[in-house]
A and B are shown apart, each in its own frame.
Chain A
Amino acid sequence: MRVTKLVTMTALAALAGTAGLDAQEPGAGPTSAQLVEGFTDSSRWPTFSGDYSGRRHSPLTQITPENVGSLTPQWTFQSGTMARGRGFETTPLVWDGVLYVTGPNNYAWALDARTGRKFWEYRRELPDDLTYGRSAPVNRGFGMLENQLFMVTLDAHLLALDRTNGNVLWDIELADYRIGYAATMAPLVVNGKVIAGISGGEYPTKGFIDAYDPETGERDWRFYTIPSPDEPGGDTWPFTGVRERGGGGTWMTGSFDPELNLIYWGTGNPNPDYYGDDRLGDNLYTASIVALNADTGIIEWHYQFTPHDVNDWDSNHVPVQADIMWEGSPRKVVMVANRNGFFYVLDRVTGELLLGKPFTDTTWARELDDDGRPIVLNDGSQGCLPDYWGGTNFMPPSFDPVRGLFFVSARETCATFIPQKPEIEPGRNSSGGTVWVDRDQAYGALRAIDVRTGERRWQFRYPTPTMAGVMSTASGLVFAGDNEGNFMAFDAESGDNLWHYPTGWSIWGTAAITHMLDGKQHVLIPSGTNLTSFALPD
């Protein structure tokens, strides 16, 4: 060979010598250790909820209740793509001045956090016979590890993209989309594994949680949310042939406790959604939270919020962790404000139920029995029930550990469920009925819940039920949104509205993030086709 290594080295040296490089290695971070550190570096938002706790509570304090009134837009990014009725549902990740953003129809971008301008754009070519992915062509964000970004797709694949240029590094199938599967959640990277969930509970699908090798895309483990007949919980599906298509999707990102090495994940509705006569029993582990060993995927404990759900009350919520004093003793807990209208506090080591109390005016049940099961007062025959989108939904809540307050967007609705036995066929929706919603009685509210008592501390009422998530900050602010498109800031103590900005489209299924950049705290909110960054004026 004529070209020697010396020449190669010379060429590379010529490249590097003019670069003015600092000490950081190419493609540096986030490492697994940096993901565990979470918010340690205030310029970063490295994982879906900001850190593994699921709290979506930032330590930043530059923007305060006193100055938030002068918060000003810095830039707007327009995606150029739209999902019918639903736009951005993503949580951007922030790393070293760059935003990594997914959008509807499996677009994705790397953006300059100072200006919103594009470094690169990615668009997946999707098949034209999508099933669930056609009805909700959304995406909720990337997972990130070192130089790789991980994204799920509407045709139920998991991709690794190169963080520098958006090139696809590998592409694997999670499940066959033609049956009814799709994927929309933001992957969670833990212990050097990419954790991904699946959508499609309105079709004859079977939910699972997967772990993949980030380098190769090979699957490490899979946990099915519906057990086999010989496994614990298998007897909650007494009818044969049902469990293979029993639903239990896993379409929202979970949280992770590195010390316990447990992943907490919510599961979706059983299928058919509304018609339950051919799936009698509790239908574990649907409408539940499961705690899985992060290395093996083996279930440690579970709690089912809605046994034998017939109202499409998925439990696909972000499980929120806290270490609190409980009846005089320190307790590691995980909290869920559920679509069934109850707020729950569970011991996250054992799964023991500590508190279960309505945070909405639900008529379905008002109490739990000694076994933690709801005492159902109204199966629908006593008048309206919360609608199929529930007392809240997948939009992230937040938790302020200093104030002990859990902030959640509540939905007060009234609906009549009309079940009907569906035809079960791969690729065909099998919701099993319809729902009439009385919109005249519906409204929404941002509510602050005292986690030690489950009591409501304050609320701010919206004219219609909202699907916007929540973020809070250590300075005593709560950022939320409404169905009318307002992005708002509230006083965490009093619930007073301190600022609002009309974004022009419903804030739907997503929540704000915040990070420092050039000495200024930025707050970002996705809405419709736009992603807007706010900061205080100079």
Chain B
Amino acid sequence: MAHCWGKRGETLLAALALLLSTSVASAQDSLANPHEGNPGAARAGRALFETRCAECHGADAKGISGPDLTDLWAAGRSDGGVFQTIQRGVPGSIMPSSSAPDDELWAIVSYLKGISTVSPVEFATGNADEGRQMFGANCAGCHRAGRSGGRLGPDLSRITLSRSRAGLMSSIRDPSAAMRVGYRTVTVVTAEGQRIRGLKKAEDAFSIQIVDTAERLQGYLKTDLREVQNEAQSLMPPFGPDRLTDGDLDNLLRFLASLREGGDAL
């Protein structure tokens, strides 16, 4: 089946008109995106997303009242699974089902996948075996890769699906430059003066919830605390070139990328 998506420079309207006219009768059965790799589909999907989804999921798809959609593939979801969720909604929640044509839904899937996933080509260099050893020695205390590792930091088993090489290198070299919500450093000081450091998971005017560095979930009433110190420094130490050379980083990223291809974990 031929698909004629609007090319760069053509109007969005034309792209949408073509979208609507394209039939993909077997798409749901196969659950494969019939427009995989077509940039026109992703552009049309962006427009559809902005009008139908962004109110809850944010213009950048990183979530407002609805969840962040840019980590779906990194969380293990497939194209077909995301398509089905958009089509039938999430039962028992505010996320509605959609009666829009399959092509429109696949276009949204194309857009989301495009902004959420990274080509494995970015991680083609390096030695995965050496990277695995490096991960075990430096990262596994706080991060999981496959079936083992720490719980304090994000699970990195599929991280190369959603984070670019440049982004990951930046996070390793200078982790304090950008700390994700849920992984920001905080120290609470109790009335007795005990200092407890961890990652902030939630906070309101009266309480704070953290995971401390012993991986324990801890909730505090602010009336029981002397102080809450939000810190600019990540709990993760910076790994400059003195600790990891560019070659070491290559190996480390190659190892993480191998996990998305079914490579040996830790």
Chain A contacts to B: CB under 8 angstroms: 1-3, 5, 7-8, 11-12, 14-16, 18-21, 24-27, 80-83, 96-98, 104-105, 110, 112-115, 117-120, 123, 125-126, 128, 137, 147, 162-165, 167, 169
Contact = CB atoms under 8 A, between A and B. Distances in A.
Contacts of B137: 1, 3, 5, 8
Contacts of B81: 125
Contacts of B213: 15-16, 18-19, 21
Interface of B: 77, 81, 84-85, 88, 90-94, 130, 133-134, 137-138, 141-142, 144, 147, 151-152, 155, 187, 194-198, 201-202, 204, 206-207, 209, 211-221, 235, 237, 243-245, 248
A80 B206 CA distance: 22
13 contacts: A2-B243, A24-B214, A81-B93, A82-B92, A104-B92, A105-B90, A112-B202, A147-B151, A162-B151, A163-B217, A164-B151, A164-B216, A169-B147
A430 B183 CA distance: 50
A114 B218 contact: no
Contacts of A1: 130, 133-134, 137, 248
Contacts of B202: 112, 117-119
Contact of B201 (A3, A21, A83, A119): A119
Given A20-B197, A164-B211, 8 more contacts: A2-B245, A5-B137, A8-B138, A14-B237, A83-B92, A98-B219, A112-B209, A164-B152
A26 B215 CA distance: 6
Given A20-B196, A105-B91, A3 B244 contact: yes
Q: Which 6 A-B pairs have the closest CB atoms?
A: A112-B219, A19-B213, A164-B151, A81-B92, A26-B215, A105-B92
Contacts of A26: 151, 214-216
Given A81-B93, A162-B151, A117 B214 contact: no
A15 B138 CA distance: 13
A12 B219 contact: no
A19 B213 CA distance: 6
Nearest to A84: B92
Contacts of A126: 91
A147 B237 CA distance: 26
A119 B194 contact: no
A125 B76 CA distance: 11
A105 B141 CA distance: 34
A97 B219 contact: yes
A81 to B, nearest CB: 4
Contact of B217 (A7, A15, A18, A119): A119
A80 B94 CA distance: 8
Contacts of B93: 80-81, 105
B179 to A, nearest CB: 15
Nearest to B81: A125
A108 to B, nearest CB: 13
Contacts of A15: 141-142, 213, 235, 237
B138 A120 contact: no
Classify the secondary structure of A's interface with B: loop
Contacts of B88: 128
A195 B235 CA distance: 38
B77 A114 contact: no
B217 A98 contact: yes
A119 B77 contact: no
A115 B138 CA distance: 36
A81 B89 CA distance: 12
Contacts of A19: 196-198, 212-214
A296 B82 CA distance: 42
A199 B111 CA distance: 39
A7 B211 contact: no
A96 B216 CA distance: 9
A522 B126 CA distance: 55
Kindly name the residue among B91, B93, B144, B237 whose own CB sees the greatest number of chain A CB atoms within 10 A.
Answer: B91
B80 to A, nearest CB: 11
Nearest to B84: A128
Kindly name the residue among A3, A113, A114 whose own CB sees the greatest number of chain B CB atoms within 10 A.
Answer: A3
A359 B179 CA distance: 61
A25 B92 contact: no
Contacts of A25: 214
A311 B130 CA distance: 65
Contacts of A114: 207, 219-221
Kindly name the residue among B81, B133, B209, B219 whose own CB sees the greatest number of chain A CB atoms within 10 A.
Answer: B219
A137 B91 contact: yes
A5 B198 CA distance: 24
Contacts of A80: 93-94
Given A21-B214, A105-B92, A137-B92, A118 B209 contact: yes
Contacts of B85: 125
Nearest to A529: B92
Contact of B218 (A3, A11, A27, A97): A97
Nearest to A517: B219
Contacts of A169: 147
Nearest to A164: B151
Contacts of A12: 141
Contacts of A125: 77, 81, 85
Nearest to B187: A18
Contacts of B206: 115
A81 B92 CA distance: 5
A24 B216 contact: yes
A98 B93 CA distance: 25
Kindly name the residue among A19, A97, A118, A163 whose own CB sees the greatest number of chain B CB atoms within 10 A.
Answer: A19
A504 B211 CA distance: 33
A20 B195 CA distance: 5
Contacts of B204: 115, 117
A210 B223 CA distance: 47
A82 B219 CA distance: 27
Contacts of A21: 212-214
A303 to B, nearest CB: 38
A83 B94 CA distance: 13
A467 B219 CA distance: 33
Nearest to B206: A115
Nearest to B88: A128
A372 to B, nearest CB: 43
Kindly name the residue among B187, B215, B220 whose own CB sees the greatest number of chain A CB atoms within 10 A.
Answer: B215
B217 A164 contact: yes
Nearest to B212: A19
A3 B207 contact: no
A232 to B, nearest CB: 41
A236 B23 CA distance: 56
A14 B214 CA distance: 13
A14 B144 CA distance: 20
A82 B142 CA distance: 35
Contacts of B84: 128
